[in-house]
Chains A and B, each alone.
Chain A
Amino acid sequence: MAHARISMCLPPDINPTQAAIAYGCRALPKLNQELQSEDLLTRQKALMALCDLMHDPEHVYTAIDIGCLESLKALLKDSNDMVRIKTTEVLYIMTTHNVGREGFLEHDVILALSYLLNDPQSDCRKNLHLAFKHVAQLPSGAQGIVKSGLIPSLVWNLQREEEEIQVLLLDTLAACLMEDSTEALSSRVVPFLKQKLLSTNNDIRSKAARTLIAVSIPLEGKNQVWQHDVIPILVHLLKDSVEEVQANAAGALMYAMVTTQGKYAALDTEAIQPLMGLLDSSLSKARLNATKALTMLAEAPEGRKFLKPYVPIFRILENDTSEAVRRAAKIAIKVIEWKP
């Protein structure tokens, strides 16, 4: 009798590790069912197939609509490592789309993901942090992360994680702290960031400086930054080799120097020279932050005295390409030449 299978060699475009994807609109519901099956292999194959499908935003929307997130949440607690890794990967791919992020927030996935923060598998954690990073790009996502009280654990993990993951963590923290930094400040984020500023990895330094910018926006943050003597390190970083680091350090200084104590701490560590050096950097962000930082310094009488002879440089900056730099230069000149 003839069988349906003609030969034992499978066709070339079937991936044995993936489940078969049904046609059209049946694909996702079937995969959802397979996700809930008891058989490990089925679940794994379904997850692999889902990974591929989730790159398409329409599939993401459909998947969330039929409730895939619930099954994925259940799978997060699975005992098999592969399953967890793949689940976190699927979730991370979903967060790259806005629909996915919003679905996350609605279905409370952040809390479910947070149980995996101490997972032994580093891939799992990496995907987890990637997912968090993308969620934090959305302002409501960042708020969701803050509201679920994850910030202290994230800050704590900053100490213990490997470097790659630290980079992701710093990105997440920077975005979250832009929203609300009170919890982080009470969980000693400033000393940790201070250590990170001295790390050898360029990415880590630049992202740590960017997180410091976010931290020093509220007044409490500024006070803490001054108390923990971070300002001298930031001044030192102004002479760093990487421009991104310089720009971010200038930004952090700009915020830290709003308070009088910050200003005088910076003046004590001779911040003016490096900042002047930054004024002709190629990154417009660096120029902007440096100009603003010098404006802060010029509020103090000693700063004004120092900066008086450098006014011509600011005049040159007034013809800069970027509109923001031009405005900042004008304001700087006005502040330097102000008489009480």
Chain B
Amino acid sequence: MYDRRVVRGNTYALQTSVLPGQPDPIEIQRQQQAKRRALAKKRAQEQLRPRTPEPVEGRKHVDVQTEIYLEEIADRIIEVDMECQTDAFLDRPSTPLFIPAKTGKDVATQILEGELFDFDLEVKPMLEVLVGKTIEQSLLEVMEEEELANLRASQCAYEELRNVELAEVQRLEEQERRHREEKERRKQQQWEVVCQHTETAQKVAARAFAQRYLSDLLPSVFSSLRDSGYFYDPVERDIEIGFLPWLMHEVDKTMEYSMVGRTVLDMLIREVVEKRLAMYEQKENQPPTRKPEDELGGSGGVTEPPAGYEQSPAQPQGPLVDRDPLERRPDDGRYTENVVSQERKLLEEEEYEQARIRSTSGREVLQPREDLEP
């Protein structure tokens, strides 16, 4: 109901003015009220409508039936109590077949042979359909089975082929593997053989090279040894070891002999000289001039025996020559003789011996040389 005091709708919105097309809500309310008033009026007027007047006093209005047949109108229904008892032990009987009562007119008709339809003709299409459907169904089933059998057969064939192909593949794999292994083995063998070959070749080459290299070694070693003097010539060695010592020994001996000889000679000369000296001294008391020549010769002989002795085999006059220088010197060396004569003797003896040895060796050397020369 529209009451202007109660604001409906959005209060924030401005109160819009009523659209011209729509009726005013106030108007609607007024119309409704008017309608109600009209209804109430109508009802009131209904009530005011004239009705049957009230019965006069002493009389009663009674409803009476005016139809032909009277109808009993009673408030209470006539009731009669009736009892009924079913037999307790009886089973419910089976429902009888419901045969509806015959209604309507009985009409009979008689169909004679051939009037309605020809069975054989009519049945053909039906039979065809029936039989056809049955056969179709069975054909379908049989075909299905055949298809299944074919599928299975092709599956088997496929499986066979697959097995065979797989076996073939495996066989080829196996073959490949064997061949490869064989090849590997052979390659290995060949490789070993080649290795051995190269090794032997290298060994041979190394040996040949070593031999060649070392072939010089021996001569070079020998030559270097020989150059550094590790080898000796046996003849030389023999000469050096055996011959030369003996030679030297012999030379020594010869020298010694000559020295001894000289010493003896010197002694002799000394004795002679001493005797002559003594004689001369005796004579000097008479003539002192002649004797120094002998002494000089003697001393000369003393100092130059090797030269003298070297020439001695060719010059038997040697000693005389020696004697003369000996004889000449004592004049100068009178004093020296007297003072150093003893020392000299010793020295001279040694020198004599050495000189003698040398001379003997020299003689002997000379002799073999002379022997060798021709």
Which residues of A approach B to under 8 Å, CB–CB? 2-3, 213, 217, 251, 254-255, 258-260, 284-285, 288-289, 292, 295-296, 299, 324, 328, 331
* A and B contact pairs by CB, cutoff 8 A, 7 listed: A254-B164, A255-B170, A258-B173, A285-B160, A292-B168, A295-B171, A331-B168
Closest chain B residue, CB of each to CB of A222: B170
Contact B171 A328 (CB under 8 A): no
Contact A324 B171 (CB under 8 A): no
CA distance A259 to B161 in the complex (A): 21
Q: Which residues of B contact A296 (CB under 8 A)?
A: 167, 171
Q: Which residues of A contact B173 (CB under 8 A)?
A: 258
- Please tell me which one of the listed residues A251, A258, A259, A260 contacts residue B163 in the complex, with CB atoms under 8 A apart: A251
Given contacts A258-B167, A295-B171, 4 further A-B contacts (CB under 8 A): A254-B167, A289-B163, A296-B171, A324-B160
B175 at the A interface (CB under 8 A): yes
CA distance A254 to B170 in the complex (A): 10
Contact B160 A288 (CB under 8 A): yes
The total of interchain contacts (Cβ-Cβ below 8 angstroms) comes to 47
> Which of B98, B164, B166, B168 gathers the greatest number of chain A CB atoms within 10 Å?
B164
Which residues of B approach A to under 8 Å, CB–CB? 95, 98, 156, 160-161, 163-164, 166-168, 170-171, 173-175, 178
CA distance A328 to B168 in the complex (A): 9
CA distance A292 to B169 in the complex (A): 11
Contact B168 A2 (CB under 8 A): no
- Tell me what chain A mostly uses at the interface: helix, strand, loop, or mixed: helix
Contact B174 A285 (CB under 8 A): no
CA distance A213 to B166 in the complex (A): 11
CA distance A222 to B18 in the complex (A): 103
Shortest CB distance A210–B (Å):
9
Q: Which residues of B contact A295 (CB under 8 A)?
A: 168, 171
- Tell me what chain B mostly uses at the interface: helix, strand, loop, or mixed: helix
Contact A255 B167 (CB under 8 A): yes
> Which of B95, B98, B161, B170 gathers the greatest number of chain A CB atoms within 10 Å?
B170
Q: Which residues of A contact B178 (CB under 8 A)?
A: 260, 299
Q: Which residues of B contact A213 (CB under 8 A)?
A: 163
CA distance A251 to B160 in the complex (A): 9
Q: Which residues of A contact B163 (CB under 8 A)?
A: 213, 251, 254-255, 289
Contact B161 A324 (CB under 8 A): yes
CA distance A289 to B164 in the complex (A): 7
Shortest CB distance B17–A (Å):
63
CA distance A299 to B173 in the complex (A): 12
Assess A324 versus B164: contact at CB under 8 Å? Given A2-B98, A285-B156: yes
CA distance A49 to B161 in the complex (A): 42
Shortest CB distance A282–B (Å):
15
Q: Which residues of A contact B160 (CB under 8 A)?
A: 284-285, 288-289, 324
CA distance A331 to B168 in the complex (A): 9
Shortest CB distance B77–A (Å):
27
Closest chain A residue, CB of each to CB of B162: A178
CA distance A213 to B164 in the complex (A): 11
Q: Which residues of B contact A255 (CB under 8 A)?
A: 163, 166-167, 170
Q: Which residues of A contact B175 (CB under 8 A)?
A: 299
Q: Which residues of A contact B167 (CB under 8 A)?
A: 254-255, 258, 292, 296
- Please tell me which one of the listed residues A2, A217, A292 contacts residue B164 in the complex, with CB atoms under 8 A apart: A292
CA distance A49 to B267 in the complex (A): 178
Contact A258 B174 (CB under 8 A): yes
Q: Which residues of A contact B171 (CB under 8 A)?
A: 258, 292, 295-296, 299
CA distance A255 to B168 in the complex (A): 9
Contact B166 A288 (CB under 8 A): no
CA distance A16 to B26 in the complex (A): 77
CA distance A331 to B172 in the complex (A): 11
Q: Which residues of B contact A258 (CB under 8 A)?
A: 167, 170-171, 173-174
Contact A288 B164 (CB under 8 A): yes
CA distance A2 to B99 in the complex (A): 12
Shortest CB distance B236–A (Å):
79
CA distance A299 to B174 in the complex (A): 9
Closest chain B residue, CB of each to CB of A175: B159
CA distance A331 to B173 in the complex (A): 15
Assess A217 versus B166: contact at CB under 8 Å? Given A258-B174, A324-B161: yes
Q: Which residues of B contact A289 (CB under 8 A)?
A: 160, 163-164
CA distance A251 to B168 in the complex (A): 12
CA distance A254 to B162 in the complex (A): 13
CA distance A78 to B287 in the complex (A): 190
CA distance A334 to B166 in the complex (A): 18
Shortest CB distance A226–B (Å):
14
Shortest CB distance A14–B (Å):
21
Shortest CB distance A337–B (Å):
15
